[in-house]
Structure 1
């Protein structure tokens, strides 16, 4: 299995407990009653697509998490949505077919992960014993060195010498002070080793606990959330091509919007397609129509929704209150989702997302519609710093024609 940062830092957890944390993390998904249920069903298909990519790349942990989220969402949580009964029967039927495909795959993956976790834990225990043996060997070598040094000391009247009392080793381990020529320093644990977030070396440290106790575990959610956002690769052609396609609307002071879709590859989201749906625009808003056309195109090309793009014909690049509410469902379903705003009058383009620790929750709880004031402190949105712009291929589908 390709090891990621998450799997490296959890190697010291017993296999069953580690699997339990993965399951608990994956089950912590909630349904927002203000997000249309059709969006959840669309997101579910994309969730399975991403899980399949992870599985093919050997990233079984992330694949299993997404399969579990999909099952939790559509076996349990989606029924809590107040508009669940409005979902067309054919959509529910397609979803059930996908569940029948995912369930056995997830069960086999669970057993595979358990075997991998057992191997990881056994390797961890071997390394831990090796470190403890090396520490004991150092203690014995230093003890012998002190005995040799004491025999070589010159003899003289007892009154001329003061005998220093050497403290007992803590936890039975003695470590010499390499920066001193004295007799040594007692420390309670092994020297610092590379943190798994800073190095590719997977090397355990000696935990400071009683040897008779099991290694303690840290919350999976805490560890996973420290590195949750995957990079989003944006082809450099997106912005100039979109502004060119929107030019006729821009000249009339009408906003234009588009959908950014693509694929997951090697744990980064790559925008490969820009879709311009049928839409209705005004000077400060844009609404898509005929969304089924978008869905059909994405299904045909196996695409994941990664964000959206729109123009501000006469204003600068920012997210208005309406923009914030438009973007919220995208980011609730895909944490990395971005909003690109093109301001041709000011020759400015910016990439935004809602602040995950405040803005996302605030906007999802806001029931106001249309343009309305929001507090600005703390900020509700920020520049998306997980975006990478590269000279990559791009396909455009203009459904307005």
Structure 2
């Protein structure tokens, strides 16, 4: 992998989130000498993104959720970390990235810049009171704005919206959720499981408005008035946008990398260009763009070995998702897209075991709520892998 003229060129990682920092740590287990450069548009603090939806219940501000600042991380990783720095162009043909007018050459490049929040256009004069929470800086801005406030409107009732609802409710806030769907977490849960989690959140005081969307947000007296598409008006103080994430692909596409939903990579996490890899939320691995920690960490372990001369295709075993709604514990392993199965549900109240099985009775996925989450380990043994081991390594570049 290391060509003779690559001796002094760095491994460049764009992004210092879970993907970027964990890859750097894993890479250093195998290679302590190669120059390592991390570039990030934020302040480079190390933190766990899943903890962003637990901060209010734990009464932790952004500084308390942050673990290590950029300086000590650079020492720990024997790396250079350039913070508050935006890559403006990728130049894979000449193996460099551009920061404004500055070219930065690389031995290998790893794109780990994550996903961006989807912005929903809303009329009215209070768009600046809508807060996405996608990183630690976002969390800090929202927490500062929430001081002295009590009423929060959440846009979206998917996994992230429900996690933030549980956290804010436990932190003492009044919460209402608006989403254009018939049930919460529609892409993850069968209707019975969704109803169980919704009942749990409602027991904390959550109010759901499923079906309409937010059309207008205006300032009114000391607060805000939200107008929904069905005519309802909701008084609130702040709005959290949790309508979803979209992989960041614009710079990659402009550079000629193959892009679909995310940046397309093969099982070695290599893009359609040599020496360029993508990892984490921005990557689409064999058609799968999975915005969760388990596939990210599987990618980290495989890619670190590949980058140190041991080509290692990524594999995903069963990957259940633990959703942070402690009022109604939830673990879900959604069936693969396009799989042909049917759901069966058993249990009482909010303690439900929902299984998705094919015609032969093979388990394709499950959703466990309440005390039923205790059955997850036994069920995991029956699940098929999300990405099985390959008999041989196929590269995206050579297969097109």
> What TM-score, normalized by structure 1, do the two folds share?
0.24
Report which of the two has the higher share of strand. 2
Q: Please say which structure displays the higher CA radius of gyration.
A: 1
Report which of the two has the higher share of helix. 1
> What TM-score, normalized by structure 2, do the two folds share?
0.24
